[in-house]
Amino acid sequence: MSCNQSKKEKQKEEIKSETMIEKSENFDWLLGKWKRLNEEEEKETFENWNKINETEYSGIGFTMQNGDTIKQEKIRLTKTSGKWNLTVKVPEESESITFNGISHNETEFTCENNEIDFPNKIKYWKNGNRINAMVSGGEMEIPFEFEKLNK
């Protein structure tokens, strides 16, 4: 009996550690349509996030002013070689920019690219029922606070 019990305990521990790994690899808290709360007057900024599969999330960010889209970016959060990276593509640039993942857990992630001036660090985190983001480089930081939109 005791041999079986220790085997069961070991199986429980393995399941528990696998669940913890899966949990920290899950960025489903990003999913949905979000509106920036701390935007300049007369502008509205949105981010929409979808889950493609277990290793890829796809987002689009855009800013509107007077009914026109004045800024847009496509965002991808992908797991490659065991690491989560953020790729940003704006229409005015021919190449996308990849920010390498430096840390993440079940409620936040931080990515950086020290080869560009600004931003060279991007951080997203869950804040209750909102999400926050910070883009930074050198002395400059731009905070973003988003609330989830109902369909």
Q: Read off φ and ψ for residue 148, nearest 5 degrees.
A: -75, 135
Angle of CA points 14, 108, 78, to nearest 5°: 80
- Note the pLDDT of residue 5: 55
CATH code: domain 28-148 is 2.40.128.20
- In whole angstroms, how far apart are CA 134 and each of 11, 47, 52, 90, 145? 40, 14, 24, 18, 9
CB atoms within 10 A of CB 63: 17
95 secondary structure, DSSP code: S
Work out the burial of residue 65: count CB atoms within 10 Å of its CB; fewer than 13 is exposed, 13-18 middle, 19 or more buried.
middle
54: closest CA among 84, 75, 18, 33? 84
> Can you give the pLDDT of all 151 residues of the chain as single tens digits?
455 555 555 555 554 434 334 444 789 999 999 999 999 999 999 999 999 999 999 999 999 999 999 999 999 999 998 899 999 999 999 999 999 999 999 999 999 999 998 999 999 999 999 999 999 999 999 999 999 998 6
Per domain, the residue ranges of the chain are 28-148
pTM here?
A: 0.82
- Note the pLDDT of residue 151: 63
